[in-house]
Amino acid sequence: MDFQQYYGNEIPPTDHYVSILEHWAGLRPDSIAFMFTDVEEIELPMTYGQLWKEVRALAGYLQSRCRIRPGDRVLLLYPPGLDFIVGFFACHAAGAVAVPAFPPRKNRKASRIRSIVVDAGAKWALTTNQQAEQLGGEVRHGDLMGVQILGTDDPECRNLDAYRRPSIDGDTLAVMQYTSGSTGSPKGVMLTQRNLVANAQLIFHAFEPRAKSVGISWLPTYHDMGLVGGILVPVFIGCENVLMSPMTFLQRPTRWLRAISKYGGTITGGPNFAYQLCVDKISESEIEGLDLSSLQIAFNGAEPIRAATLDAFRRKFEPYGFNPSASLPCYGMAETTLIVTGGPSDPRPIIKSFDRTELDSKRVVPVEDDDATARKLVGCGAVLPSETVLIVDPDTREELPADSIGEIWVSSPSVGAGYYGRKEATERTFKAKTAGGDGPYLRTGDLGFLFDGQLYVSGRLKDMIVVRGVNRYPQDIEETVERASDVVQAGAVAAFAMDQDNREQLAIVAEVARLRDVDWDSQIQAIRRAVTDEHELPPDAVYLVRNSSVPKTSSGKIQRHACLHAVRDNELKLIAKWVRWEESGTGSVVASDARPMIQAATSASASLTDADVNPLIVQAIQYHVRSVAGERAKQLSLNTNIVLDLGLDSLERLEIARNLERTFGGRFPEQVLDEIETIGETAIAISRYLPAGADARAEAMLTGNANGSVAAKRPATSGEASTALAQERAAVEPEDQVEQFAEYRRLKATMEQMRMTGVPNPFFTVHDGIAADTTVVGGKKLISFATYNYLGMSGHPVVSEAAADAVKKYGTSVSASRLVSGEKPIHRQLEETLAKFIGVDDSILMVGGHATNETTIGHLVGEGDLILHDALSHNSIVQGALLSGARRRPFPHNDFAALDRTLQELRSQYRRVLIVIEGVYSMDGDFSNLPEFIKVKKKHRAMLMVDEAHSLGTMGKTGHGMAEFWDCDARDVDIWMGTLSKSAASCGGYIAGSAALVEYLRYTAPGFVFSVGMPPAQVAAALSALQLVEKEPERVERLRQNSELFLKLCKEAGLDTGVSEQTPVVPVITGNSLVALRLSNRLKGDGINVQPILYPAVEESAARLRYFITSEHSEDQIRTTVERTASHLADLGFALQATRAT
């Protein structure tokens, strides 16, 4: 491309970047050089004039006060922002060598940083003041021992008058770019000023940018693509570049495209995964209003480029102005500064099909796209001016003909000077010569070929792992795995990248010792956490295999490719495994990748000290924790675990989080909210993720709400006052569409993960006809264990006839509240029958079972009262408690002793105390010890409520429920609640108890007074069902026998049925959602319908199938079902522990 045509009389110098920056500062002092933004609120511009002045002033300070001299290596440990750019070019201006790196996390060992410090001999690290305080405070980060840390955003770190430009030319070492692969022994690529300028020129030729270009970049600046593409090229061109934090993009990919639309971006780019993320994660509502028509260049590199991703991105965003020819695949690496090949502008992108079998044999044979052997490859661009690219046999070093695949060798003015301090590695990699003596060339280690002027990359000669744009050496990961687990055999671990779900995934195969009684899951978890912690790359799959089964060469070297094939062909001798794409966890790809990283980060929280956190923020957190946890939060420290130490459930945790968000503004990122558990972690998360000014907001809240419980308020500084005022005015981002809700996005992510398993969605299956012991789905008759028609009353001719007669007599609806004109004779008949059936004075009907608990609990207790409920209580109980406004406190499941202890401490503080338990717990199939709870209730003068949804009709000799089962006086229970959709073959719910209770609810309960009365057909059905139970008590006995038989057979087959006993609810616990999903699907293939219960309905370790037994099931149906369940579980790899049922 003609520079003269592009620049006119403003062609920049090409000697070094200090003169290039000076050039544009002189010509375009008021033009924006960089803008840092979050796309939504923050915009921080910096002009070329400002940048040039800041660079020289900081360089003068580095020279005069820090005594930094030409050639000194200086670490750059900046978070995303403009400070990095100033620090980077200040190093150049001072003649120092910039060494960009990612700042180590607080309380986290980062051996890679330590290795860089040692390798580079760095004595100084530049960063921001906040980061400097974290890394260099009283507890200095261990990896930075011996390094002086300077916060360069401090205005005092400037001395323009002291600046003296050193001698700089093209051979001056400018950057040491550490390859992102190795942690234990990273190699620093030495890049001169000539390398940097030459690569910018090559990119200029490949991109052919328009005269007025605007760059958009979210790429990390410590990575070659972010540094060169996001900073150096824009400065070379003299254009404006808009920068974002990588997290801004990763948390919400639409912000990248919004930035292009908002700022008129013409050049942008990223690795292939970034484009796929936009395809997968940007909803239709988020696309509305996008205008991508300004975009000329969307470069794609740093990892394998997929034709499917390019096509999917085109199809999704072309309607919004995206020009498909903007896609610019390219190829490069740190050793060549950045780019090697890219372009031309037309045609673009170039995608060709080749015979895959020939490619495997390293031969290039083009075929038509529809050929059965076709494998589509994306052309990575043309060889650029002043470069030579050869395809060479890596063993013989012979240059190969055009139809062959070999190692890619490169000669280019962008190729670095070598690896710092590593002469042998430099000779081997940077100074290779062909068999004919031509050279020197850079050996890339990548395999590829040239075809029709394009470079195609077909694989990797080396085993470098490239996943989501991150490069790692497998041997480093393998060493980490060996250290992480005592059962892993030394020298028998393989780490490699594999293609799954259209992206590269990190897989680990490890031999383990022959040991008994090993908790394999904890071993896998330790491996995942260690690899994530040390390498910032969460594993996607971990396979533990038998001793001596990992493929090796005759000399004992691990054969990683053979391991890959063994995984693909299911040939591993597995002991245990964890595979991300086979799990049904929550969240998007970004969320699931982040989860292990956060776990690893928070695992070190026990070392937090008061110096690590703001005391005002901690006091505010403690206030909110105490407001929810009450007496459980007497003793709080930084390391108090809100979950484990205080025993709070998930809803209580979310209540605390919501209160903190109201106090401090903003919202916690979802993945962070999932992981923070201690007071200290929460304080750090507030400082890191919620808006600035947190201390001022905390102080304002405490002085207003803490009633003098905190120290006297100190005078606010003017800065604090303005910060607090700004926060008061800060607007909360509105959410006016359901698609924006985090909860809905989480649901869609979960649904997508389920879809990716390949197992059909088990929910909302359409059932034809009556569901009893059998059901009909899609025209196929199935044995049914998925409905709670316990006594076969639904579909019984007598019950159906009663319902039909009621419709004929009263119509399909009573068309009014019963208080007004909806009262029918059969309403009172059913209520009186229920009261007699249970053994109390009276009852009241309500139209919904879930609503019965909500309206009753919420009406009987309120603010100033206490609700104590079983930790495994049904959602309707928890929701009723939340809506009541009363203090809510769960107690351990079925633990009446724990309840007693709690009441001993708390009863005197509350007017009313309501204890809520269930008769039969429908998730676990166990039941409550009613007599003991009655004792506790009487001892402490509390009210007792028993939910009999699953015990009415199933418990007691004649099905009269828990009072009959325990031979108790039903009047010892204050409130009996039940539903009519199980044994009573209807719908709705009821409350039964004293005459006073029922009368009070009848005239005042909102869910009754302001709701239509129960439809006549449903009333008649329930009334008829209860009469049949009285008439045919053998149904209850048959149900009991069937339930005992099912449970007995399950135990004999070694199935895990948890704590189920003496009830018609029997779970088979798999401890894995994916296994439960697959087991349910396989049973359906056998003609058996049983539903899986998956995370998050239960904890992942409690995932299960739940069997509802009925009186109508035959012995043959029960035996067949248990046998098929056990058989499929064995096929799925479960070791069944057969026991003799007693």
| Cα 143 to Cα 113, 119, 634, distances in angstroms | 6, 13, 38
**CA angle 122-126-131, nearest 5°?**
120
Q: What is the DSSP letter of 40?
A: S
Q: Where are the beta strands (DSSP E) in 881-974?
A: 887-891, 913-918, 943-947
Q: What is the pLDDT of residue 758?
A: 60
Q: Which tokens hold the place of 785?
A: 């264990």
C-beta separation of 1067 from 1058 below 8 A:
yes
Q: What is the pLDDT of residue 639?
A: 82
Beta bridge partners of 216: 242, 268
Q: How far apart are CA 150 and CA 1001, in angstroms?
A: 69
Cβ partners under 8 Å of residue 769, min gap 6: 775, 776
Question: Can you tell me which residue has the tokens 């498909």?
Answer: 324
pLDDT tens sequence across 569-602: 788 888 888 887 775 333 222 223 322 222 222 3
- Those residues of the chain that have pLDDT short of 70 are 1-2, 105-111, 137-142, 180-185, 462-464, 468-471, 473, 553-557, 583-608, 631, 643-651, 670-675, 705-733, 752-758, 1133-1142
C-beta separation of 905 from 889 below 8 A:
no
Q: What is the pLDDT of residue 1073?
A: 83
Query: Looking at this protein, which amino acid is placed at residue 343?
Result: G
Q: What is the pLDDT of residue 601?
A: 26
Question: Can you tell me which residue has the tokens 């102005």?
Answer: 321
CA dihedral 369, 371, 375, 376 (to 10 degrees): 0
Domains recognised in the chain with CATH numbers = 48-186 (3.40.50.980), 352-460 (2.30.38.10), 465-583 (3.30.300.30), 599-727 (1.10.1200.10), 767-788+1034-1131 (3.90.1150.10), 797-1031 (3.40.640.10)
Beta bridge partners of 47: 32
C-beta separation of 254 from 277 below 8 A:
no
pLDDT tens sequence across 939-975: 999 999 999 999 999 999 999 999 999 999 999 999 9
Sign of torsion over alpha carbons 362, 367, 371, 377: positive
- From the CB of residue 312, how many other CB atoms can be counted at a distance below 10 Å? 17
Q: What is the pLDDT of residue 591?
A: 29
769 CB-contact burial (10 Å; exposed 0-12 / middle 13-18 / buried 19+): exposed
